[in-house]
Amino acid sequence: TIHSADGFFLAIPTAAAPKKGVGGKRISPSNFPEHSLGPLRFVYRKGKPALLVVDEQRARKGKRGGFARASARSRKTGTGLVTVPMFVLVPLVRVPKKLSLERVQSRAGQRFPRQIRHNLETFTAEE
């Protein structure tokens, strides 16, 4: 189980969030580039994870895709403006165990007699 360090929420970046934040570090709400994309806004959703979104974004038309802050004209007219979720906020995350020792032991225990029998048969066949 993974909890947040400060006791509130874990912020999981969405695909729309930039990979790097201010200072070239891995993106988080604390180093989100608000100077270029706009401020983050908290959105509460009952029974669902909360979101941190950025308003007044426009989809980029290039091959790279993504979103960029809207120009002054598009903000004035409202053309093509969307609200983009940048982070999903969850209280904790449960990660399944990668290696179960009990399962490995039981499988090895099932194979062990077979391996002994096989080794004995090959040893007696050589004589």
Block mean pLDDT (10 aa), the chain, length 127: 80 88 89 89 92 85 72 80 89 80 76 79 72
Question: CA-to-CA distance for 69 and 36, rounded, in angstroms?
Answer: 7
| 72 & 114 share domain | no
| 49 & 15 share domain | yes
Contact 12, 90 (CB under 8 A): yes
**pLDDT in the model for residue 48:** 93
Tell me which residue range forms the domain holding 78.
2-93
| 87 & 106 share domain | no
| 83 & 109 share domain | no
Nearest to 89 by CA among 44, 51, 40, 45: 51
| 43 & 16 share domain | yes
| 104 & 77 share domain | no
| 78 & 38 share domain | yes
| 47 & 85 share domain | yes
**pLDDT in the model for residue 101:** 74
